[in-house]
Each structure stands twice: as structure tokens, then as C-alpha cells.
Structure 1
Amino acid sequence: MTTHEHTITKDMTTPSSMHLQYLYNQYATTYLSFSELYAYEAVILLIYGIMIIFSFCTNFIAIVIFFFGRRSRSELTPFLLNLSVFNIIMTVYCIPFTMTSIIFQRWLFASTLCTVLDGLKTFSVSGVLLTLITIAIDRYCVVKYPMTIKTYSPKKRNLVAIMTIWILSILLAIAWSPARSSPTQEKRLWVNSRTLLSDYMKSLDNYTDTSKSNDYLSKLEYKVIDTLQCLPNKIARPVEVQRAILNFLQTYFFPLFILGFVYLRIAVILWQRRNDVNYDLNNGTTKNLFTNETIQFKKKLKQGIKMLIAVVALYAILWLPMNIFQLCLNLLCFTGTKYQKFCAHPTLIKLLYIACHFLTVSNTALNPIIYGFTNNRFRSDIRQLRRRLIHCQARTPSYLQSQPLRTGKDVQDRPLKQKNTPNTTASKTPRILIQPKYRRPISLSEQNRVPRPMYSINLSTKDVMLSSARHTT
């Protein structure tokens, strides 16, 4: 710190217009408590708090249902569970720290968290993208090679895929470690009221009436404080531009290109097989017992693929504003460009960043709603788990103590119910209503256990191949 800065820090009690004006132009402002925030900043923090709680609850419920649910289990369950875990990591470790730093203009937490924060961001985002890509490739193999995929164990296949996702996510987080943020000490200007400071800076333009500016200055309290800032490791501008472009390609362009190409191939294969089945049905060559199961399998497969495409489309829409904002910030906002005047407004840049960031992180809360709560089997597992919890709460020890014990004597003393005998003297015989017994519909897995009669020998090879892969989803 220079000698001039030492003089500034010591002489904080003497109000001086030149002194405060110099500090305002020299240092950025910061805030010490929630009471110093504007109303819109408090509303932003409140909205983010609600979104964090909602995102954590939806992903936690999805994890519980995928662990203990029965009807919603499928081959995609491990991948969807993995996706919820990465969403919780992003919700807990990334969103609160980033938002509070932007609002308060300083780092409020331990300095070690600043070093770990960027690594967790890269790890969680890479995990989400790699999980979506793995799901798309797995569905493509199921549709393209249904017989070959049956030879591999689903548990081993999913375990290898999930381990690969975690290893690649860790390697990508390590590869981006040179660009991670680091804690730095920085001096900032604190004032007791930003409104008074703004009015005071405006009153300095009026040279004739200095009484108003002196009145504002007497009410202001200000000082230069040492703050902890979590700033990224920035070097030369060409390297920063290269990092921004590489980040855009890694987190947005390449994943969406791969997902779009794979799902387009799946749609083409399903469309071709649909035309082949319709042709065979019209000619009457495949009218056998496998036809209904093949149609059901293809219907379930299409529903699953539609759900996954909705997840990918939501990612493409919500992550696009943040990627465009970062590219424009690194490509256009530098000294010597015609956009320098626009980039010099810190409040406008901050609000644009908050809007883009909110859209990006809201994807973590909406993913479980798409692939979980919109599924009928997932909702039935939620209802079943809720009934189990209510049943367990009702059978507490106090409840059991309050219930009377039934002994053998109580059972003997209980009067027997007399059967209603039909009245033979009546002129009309009463109608006896017999309620039909409810029979649960048989699932496809139970239908396979039922012995079937011998089929006709005239079965096409394509229909047999399709029916053998009817339970791969």
C-alpha cells in the first residue's frame, strides 16, 4: 500500500468533498449487512432462496423414489439418479456462493471455498452433460442392436457407464484448474447509504448551491475497508477469449450436437420399423401373439425418448443466454471498442448476469419435474411411499398402547352376526347384488411367465427380433 493510501485510511473522520469524490472514483463500493441492500436486491436473494429450496427438495424426492420405488424402476433409473446427484451438487455448492458474491460485491465465506468453487461448477456441469450423452447413446444401442444389448448385464453396463461419467467429470475439473478463481484482498469503499451517496454525487454538478452537497456530506459515513474477493485467474486477453470459446464449445455446442444427432438417428430407425410393421400387418403376414407386445414396447420406448428430448431441449433453451452473455462479455467488452460505454454500467451488467444465471440454474429444479413427476409410474410410487409413511406414523407406540387388547374371552363374548335369511312370505324376492372382484391388470413381465400355446411357424425374423427386446426400457 502506498503512502497516499495510508493517508486516506487514517483520515476517515474528517468529511471532505474532494476526499469522498476521490474515494468514489478510486474504489468500488461494497456492503456489510442486508439492511444496506436495495429492495430489488433483497427480492433477488429471496427468489434465489426459494429456488434453491425447491430444487433441493425435488431432486431429493427423485433420489428417494428411484431408490425405494418399484413401479418407476427401469434401465434408466441409475442414470436419472446420477443426474439428480449432480443437480444437488450444483444447487448446494454453486448457486448460493455465486449469488451472494454478486449482490454484496465481496466474498462472505472461507477462502478455501473460493478455490474449490470453480472445480465443483465444472464437475457438476460436466456430470450433467455426460449423463445426458450416455443416456442418448444407451437408447441408441437399445434401438439399433436389440439382440446384442441383451447379452450384456444391465447392472454391469450401467455401473461401468456411471463410473466413466464420474472419472471424466473429475478429469475435466482438473483440466480447468488453471482458470479457477482464487481469493484476493481488495480495498472497497463502504458508505452507510447508497441513496445519499448518489444524491451527493449529483449535487456536486451544481457549483452555485453548495449547501445541499454539504448537507448530504454531513449525513454520510464512509470508510475504505479490506474485503476478500473471489476473482478468476485472468491473464492476457487472447487467452481469455480462447477460454470463453472453449467453454462455449464444451458446455453447449458439442453436447447439443451429439444429442441432436443421436436422437435424430433413433427417430429415423423407429420410423423405418413403424413402416415395416404397418406393411406386414396390412399384408397379414405377422398376425401372431408377438404383435401386441411389440407395439407396446415401441410405445414405451417412444414415451421415454420424448421425455429425454424434453430434458435436452430445456437444457438448450435455459443455457443459451448465459453462454451468449459470457461470449459477448469476453469478445466485446474491452478497452477501445464502441461497446465500452454499454459495458461501463455495472448495474446493468449485474442485472443481465443475474437474469442469465437464474435461467441456467433453474434447469436443476425443472429436470426432476420432467423425467419424474410427469411420469405416471413415478407419481404412483410417490403415493405409495406417502401411504407407507402415514401408516408407519399411525402405528406409533402411543397409538398401540391406546388400542384395547383383544383376548380370547372378548372374542367369545362377542355376539355372532346372524345371516340374513330371505323372507319367503314376501311377495317379491329381494335382489342380491354381488360385487365383481377387482382384478389387477397383468404387466408385460407377468405375461411372460404365463405358459403360451405353440405359435405358428410362419413368423418373420424381424418380428421375433423386435419382440425379444420388448423389456429393454
Structure 2
Amino acid sequence: MAANATDFSCLDSTALKVTVSVVLTVLILITIAGNVVVCLAVGLNRRLRSLTNCFIVSLAVTDLLLGLLVLPFSAFYQLSCRWSFGKVFCDIYTSLDVMLCTASILNLFMISLDRYCAVTDPLRYPVLITPLRVAVSLVLIWVISITLSFLSIHLGWNSRNETSMVTHTVPKCKVQVNLVYGLVDGLVTFYLPLLVMCITYYRIFKIARDQAKRIHHVSSWKAATVREHKATVTLAAVMGAFIICWFPYFTVFVYRGLRGDDAINEVFEAIVLWLGYANSALNPILYAALNRDFRMAYQQLFRCRPAGHAAHEMSLRSNSSQLSRNQSREPRRQEEKPLKLQVWSGAEVTVPRGTTDRVWGVSPYRPWRGSQGKNRGRGGGKPFTASKVKESKCDPPGVA
């Protein structure tokens, strides 16, 4: 939400003011650069182009817009101790702030639902989460965010019968919060989605833990689910950072609606505000720290690695789970399926699995050839069993 002019930003200490300026500038730069990298990583790597990452990109775009359109003005406002851009732009500025915060919450809410479907019902996941539904969800996220922010503020639903730019000794720009707006906005845009996300991730954790116990000795299913569980841990960490960063501010926000806009110390209000802004800088770091695919994508960008090389490495990891599943089924197939070997005369020998070494010790994976070194094909002679081979008077031909 919008920033306030505070005594914290108006201190006479030059050293403290420079320190605050450096901290806020670094935070803004990290927010912009980090979320640009997230968008580039998803755009340049096919491995990351999943339906889940559509919501992550939407979240990154939200944080990027916050870093470009809101944070610079908030920092200038904190340091200059006055709003210098007029009432009209104050309304636009506060509306953008509310819109982007709401969009972040709704994106995290949709991410939690996506992870819940992927982990709890993976077989029906492609049916439940389709590209069309994801597109509709993204459109609804931004429509709802725009409606709750611009519509509420410009129609004065949040007003206490005062203008949004209050002039005492210096002009200020802050979101006004009355009783109804504070309760409704706090519950609808933060506390209720937060409750649903906590329940969702708790159920995901329980299901993932139960599955890990049941499939501990089954490598095929374990390889198939490890990717989903890692993604769940990553996204849960993102949500946890969101709670730590934004819960103090929304508590203050609701308290302002109950007790009045001046009920909170402005220094404390500025601190919890920028703590919430810091969440936009943390999300790209969390992706890199907890998600291997994002780490490799970042390495590709920063080390200028060829896109094909990185995609090849990621495809190898993707195919490893399928290979392990195939290998787990291969011994059973080999035990059930007999071997057919071509002998010198052109006939076939049908040998059950496990008896090949007892019949001349010939490798079951290489065809026999004639004395001329030419393959005689399968056309001549009737297949016969291993017992007939032992009765044959022919010497075993050489193995090609």
C-alpha cells in the first residue's frame, strides 16, 4: 500500500539519511533486476514453460511493475518528507500500490491451488489445469486487482470524508482506511487467501509425506514425484516469505481502519511498509536457492551458456525418471520373453531367458552368422527349442 511521510525519513542526521537512501536504492535495484531475470529465464528455457510457471511469471511481472512504478516514488517520498506530485497522481500512485499487492496475493493463491492439484491428483492434473483455465485465471487476477484498487479509491469507498492528499504543514499522500474498507479489504485480499493457502500447503505436506513413506522402496514412483515435491517446497517458501513480509503491514492496515489513520506511529508504519516491499526482491532469490531448474536457467543467462546445452542437460534429468521406470520393468520383461537366435543353418532357436549361457555361452544380444560371415536371415527352417540344439551334431558357429 502507499507510503507515508515519516519522521524516520526526515531525520536531520545526514549519515542516517544516506544509509536509508542506499538501502532503499539497493532494494529497488534487486527487485527490478531479479524479476527481469525470472521473466527472461522462463522465456528462454523451454523447460520452465509450464502452467505453474505462468503464475510465477505473472507474480514476477507484478513485482517488476511494483519496482518500476511504485518503489521509486515511495523512496523519494520517504526521503523528501513531502508529496510533490499533486493529488491526481497521488490517487494513481496509491491505486497502483493496492492493485499490485492484490495481484501478488491472488497469484500466490492460484499457485497454491495449482500445486495442490499437481500433488494430490497428478493423474487428473492435465484435465483440471488446462491452458485455457490458466489464461482465464490470469485475466481474472488482474481484473479483480484493478477493480479493487482503482474503483475503490476513485469512488471514495475507503475515505474518511477527507481527501487522499492531506495537507497539514506539508503535503502527504497515503491510502485512507475507514472501518468498512479496512475490514473488507484486509479479509478479502489477505487474511482469507492466507488461510486457504495455509490449509492447502498443510494438506500438500501431509500427502507428500505419506506418499514418501509408501513409495520409499519403489524407485519408479519416487523418481516421478520428486520433481513435484521440490516445486512444492519452493513455492511454500515463497508463500512463507510473503507471510513474514506482509502480515505486519496488513495488521497495521486493519488497525488503522478500526482506530483511525493516525493511530499508528509513522516510523513503525514506514518500517512494516518497506518490509512488505522487500518480498518483491526475495522471490527471485528463493527461486534460485530452492529450484534446480531456475538455478540452471540463471547460470545459462549469467555465464552465456548456449541455450541448447542447458536444455540438453535439463532434458537428461527429465528423461532419467522415465529411464528408471523402464529399467525397473525391464528385468520382468526379460524373464517373460524368450530369445530367438539364428543358427548357422538359417533356422531359429527359441531359448528361454536364463538358459543362454548354458547353451554355448553365446551373448543373447548378437545374431549368429554363417561361416561366410553373412547373415542368412530368418527365412530358412523351422524354429526349434534348446533341447534340439543340444542334440545337433553341428559345431557352434563363431560369433560375429
Q: TM class, shorter-chain normalised?
A: 0.5 to 0.7
Q: Tell me whether 1:104 sits opposite 2:80 in the alignment.
A: yes
Q: Encode CA deviations 1:340-362: one digit per residue, 9 max, x unaligned.
A: 8xx6xxxxx23212221221111
The count of residues paired between Structure 1 and Structure 2 equals 316
User: Relative to 1, partners in 2 of residues 1:265 and 1:233: Cα closer, same or farther, differing over 3 Å?
Assistant: closer
Secondary structure at the counterpart of residue 147 of structure 1: coil
Q: Tell me whether 1:245 sits opposite 2:119 in the alignment.
A: no
User: Relative to 1, partners in 2 of residues 1:57 and 1:373: Cα closer, same or farther, differing over 3 Å?
Assistant: farther
Secondary structure at the counterpart of residue 51 of structure 2: coil
C-alpha RMSD of matched pairs (Å): 3.8
User: Relative to 1, partners in 2 of residues 1:384 and 1:86: Cα closer, same or farther, differing over 3 Å?
Assistant: same
Q: Tell me how far 1:184 sits from its aligned partner.
A: 4.7
Q: 2:199 is matched by which residue type in structure 1?
A: F
Q: Tell me whether 1:364 sits opposite 2:298 in the alignment.
A: no
Structure 2 residues without counterparts, runs of 5 or longer: 308-312, 334-400
Q: Encode CA deviations 1:65-89: one digit per residue, 9 max, x unaligned.
A: 1111244443322111111000012
8 Å Cα contact 1:71/1:380 also seen in 2: no
Q: 2:228 is matched by which residue type in structure 1?
A: L
Q: Encode CA deviations 1:305-339: one digit per residue, 9 max, x unaligned.
A: 1111111111111112222333444545699xxxx
Q: Tell me whether 1:149 sits opposite 2:125 in the alignment.
A: yes
In the TM superposition, what are the counterparts of 1:224-239 in structure 2 within 5 Å?
228-232=171-175
User: Relative to 1, partners in 2 of residues 1:107 and 1:142: Cα closer, same or farther, differing over 3 Å?
Assistant: same
Q: Percent identity?
A: 20
Q: Tell me whether 1:62 sits opposite 2:5 in the alignment.
A: no
Instruction: Name the counterpart of 1:300.
Output: 227
Instruction: Name the counterpart of 1:128.
Output: 104
8 Å Cα contact 2:77/2:83 also seen in 1: yes
User: Relative to 1, partners in 2 of residues 1:329 and 1:122: Cα closer, same or farther, differing over 3 Å?
Assistant: closer
Q: Name the CA distance, whole Å, in 2 between partners of 1:66 and 1:441.
A: 15
8 Å Cα contact 2:119/2:229 also seen in 1: no
Q: Tell me whether 1:266 sits opposite 2:222 in the alignment.
A: no
* One of 332, 354, 360 as aligned partner of 2:270: 354
Stretch moving more, 247-256 or 322-331: 322-331
Q: Tell me whether 1:444 sits opposite 2:344 in the alignment.
A: no
Q: 2:283 is matched by which residue type in structure 1?
A: N
Q: 1:113 is matched by which residue type in structure 2?
A: F
Q: Name the CA distance, whole Å, in 2 between partners of 1:120 and 1:307.
A: 28
Instruction: Name the counterpart of 1:464.
Output: none
8 Å Cα contact 2:116/2:201 also seen in 1: yes
Structure 1 residues without counterparts, runs of 5 or longer: 1-28, 189-226, 235-239, 282-290, 344-348, 392-438, 458-473
Q: Name the CA distance, whole Å, in 2 between partners of 1:440 and 1:86.
A: 28
Q: Encode CA deviations 1:79-103: one digit per residue, 9 max, x unaligned.
A: 1111100001222222232343344
Instruction: Name the counterpart of 1:381.
Output: 297
Q: Give TM-score scaled by structure 1 length.
A: 0.58
Q: Name the CA distance, whole Å, in 2 between partners of 1:302 and 1:267.
A: 9
Q: Encode CA deviations 1:160-207: one digit per residue, 9 max, x unaligned.
A: 32222222222222442222795658463xxxxxxxxxxxxxxxxxxx
Q: Which structure would you say has the larger RCO, counting Cα contacts within 8 Å and 6 or more residues apart?
A: 1
Q: Tell me how far 1:36 sits from its aligned partner.
A: 7.2
Instruction: Name the counterpart of 1:277.
Output: 215
Secondary structure at the counterpart of residue 173 of structure 2: strand
User: Relative to 1, partners in 2 of residues 1:143 and 1:183: Cα closer, same or farther, differing over 3 Å?
Assistant: closer
Q: Tell me how far 1:114 sits from its aligned partner.
A: 1.0
* One of 19, 26, 40 as aligned partner of 1:50: 26
Q: Tell me how far 1:255 sits from its aligned partner.
A: 1.8
Secondary structure at the counterpart of residue 74 of structure 2: helix
Q: Give TM-score scaled by structure 2 length.
A: 0.67
Q: Encode CA deviations 1:116-161: one digit per residue, 9 max, x unaligned.
A: 1122112111111111111111121222332222346743343232
Instruction: Name the counterpart of 2:337.
Output: none
Q: Encode CA deviations 1:251-294: one digit per residue, 9 max, x unaligned.
A: 4321210101111222232233334435xx5xxxxxxxxx4331
Instruction: Name the counterpart of 2:370.
Output: none
